[in-house]
Amino acid sequence: MYNTPEQFAGANKANVETLLTVANTAFASAERLAALNLNTARIVLEDSVNNTKALLSVKDVQELLNMQTALAQPAFEKAIAYSRSVYEIATQTQEEFAKIFDTQYVEMNKNVTSVLDKAAKSAPAGSDVAVAAVKSAIAAANSAYETMNKAAKQVAEMAEANVAAATTATVRAVGAAAPKARKAA
């Protein structure tokens, strides 16, 4: 029933490893986001220079309006692509964190069950009812956790599908509006 120094050391080592995994996941996500931002900034700068050169070569108002419309569409599409990339990085990071915490939850559960079993073996006679009640409460908590976890995953999947549908609809709407704007000009 009593924990030995080796058990404490093992638990501390496991906790440090988990913290390192969480930190590495966070750093990898930050690194991907920083790379995306730097790449996007480079592209925006290049596009700005090219667009400015193109706009400076315009000879009349009609050509200016046509060029503005033509330049707006790729910029909008790049903004959508950037948003999708950020969303993807965030989603993948969240999934990695969820895996880590699920693993920790399972390990904690095993440890509690093990301690409970050891306590039951050394408990006085007649305490088996209390031990059974605690085990039942743990089973109910595990069931509730798994139900909430499944519900959260379903909500995340629905949100992802809604974001994808809204993005597609917006891109289509802007794509359809561009030719109309050119005709109106």
End-to-end Cα distance, the chain: 83
Q: Which residues fall within 8 angstroms of residue 61, CB to CB, at 6 or more apart?
A: none
Identity of the residue numbered 153: K
Q: Which residues fall within 8 angstroms of residue 178, CB to CB, at 6 or more apart?
A: 69, 70, 72, 73
pTM exceeds 0.85: no
Domain that holds residue 91: 5-184
Q: Which three-class secondary structure state does DSSP give residue 26?
A: helix
How many domains in the chain? 1
* Helices of type H across 58-127: 61-122
139-181 pLDDT, tens digit per residue, is 888 888 888 888 887 887 887 788 778 777 777 776 666 566 5
Mean pLDDT, rounded, of the chain: 83
Q: How far is CA 123 from the centre of its chain?
A: 45
